[in-house]
Amino acid sequence: MESSTRSQARICRGCWDQMHMPIPIRGPLALPFQAFGITRSKMNPNICTICERAFTFVKKQRHVSATASILFADMRGYTYLSEQLDAITLSAVVSTFQDQCAQAIWEHDGIVNKQMGDGLMAIFNFPIKAERHAAAAVRAAIEVQRRCGAALEGMAKRGVDTRAMPLGVGVGVHTGEVEIGEFSTFRSDFTAIGGAVNLTARLESQAAAGEILVSAEAAAQAPELVAGAAIRELSLKGINQPVPAHVLTVH
């Protein structure tokens, strides 16, 4: 089986890593599974919909504890754009942002767990296992900035005055213990919750356009990617002590 989502896995990497179940997701062997509604997941094309429902039906539990790296990304200047662009053009911009972020995350074996308009949340190390998941998340964040930066440069060509409001993406990355599973009786999709998720969201909220804020925990597992980066002390909502973050910028 391929080792990266840069390749097209023929069996679900999540089911294999978590349960050692070889579920076909491409090729002729996948057709009988598709007939029963087992298809590739929208969270990552190299996992399947069984991964989204495995907790209650396979694992026999609603959630599990795991160490994971979390990434939050959000557009900066979205409100300004919404005042400058018509609804159809704005929708195209948001779609481009989401698509470019997803491609960057999938390239590094993460899943796009939630899409929230002009923002998203990604998980690394579940269900696809990655020994260096913090490094994968940071690399994905760098790729998000590169891809989205190139896309947003085109805004000036659409008549948007980018001098009036900096446009870009703010990203936060953190590594820690989370609870992953199904937390709603109305939906079977899984997600991650816990202090690590909240801290990542707080980091992202403090990142300026073009910045990636990497927590000390994530940086410790990916030192080669934050070498030479400035460290910023942040006062985050709900956290009593200042939180140091490595500041990465992508040009």
Q: What angle do CA 196, 172, 226 make, to 5 degrees?
A: 105
Judged by average pLDDT, the poorest of 19-28, 150-159, 181-190 is: 150-159
pLDDT tier at 2, thresholds 50, 70, 90: very low
Name which of 87-91, 103-107, 126-130 the model is least confident about. Answer: 87-91
Sign of CA dihedral 125, 127, 130, 131: positive
Give every CB contact of residue 223 below 8 A, 6+ residues apart in sequence: none
Q: Encode burial over 30-43: b for 16+ CB neighbours within 10 A, e otherwise.
A: beebeeeebebbeb
pTM exceeding 0.75: yes
User: What whole-number percentage of the chain has pLDDT above 70?
Assistant: 89
What backbone phi and psi angles, to 5 degrees, belong to 113?
Answer: -80, -35
**What is residue 133's predicted lDDT score, i.e. its pLDDT?**
98
Tokens found for residue 149 = 């930066």
- For residue 119, count other CB atoms closer than 10 A to its CB: 21
Please give the pLDDT value at position 1: 38
Range list of β-strands (E), 85-135: 111-115, 119-124
pLDDT band (50, 70, 90) for residue 213: very high
Kindly give the pairing relationship between strand 230-234 and strand 191-193: unpaired
What pLDDT score does 250 carry?
85
Average pLDDT over residues 242-247: 96
pLDDT at 155 over 70: no
Taking residues 22-42, report their average pLDDT: 95
Q: What is the per-residue pLDDT for 158?
A: 62
How confident is the model at residue 77, as a pLDDT? 87
As a whole number of angstroms, the distance between CA 247 and CA 251 comes to 13
For residues 71-96, average pLDDT: 89
**What's the pLDDT score for residue 3?**
41
Q: What is the CATH number of domain 64-249?
A: 3.30.70.1230
Residues of the chain with CATH 3.30.70.1230: 64-249
- Quick check: 115 pLDDT over 90? yes
3-state secondary structure of 97: helix
- Going by DSSP bridges, is the β-strand pair 63-76/168-181 parallel, antiparallel, or unpaired? antiparallel
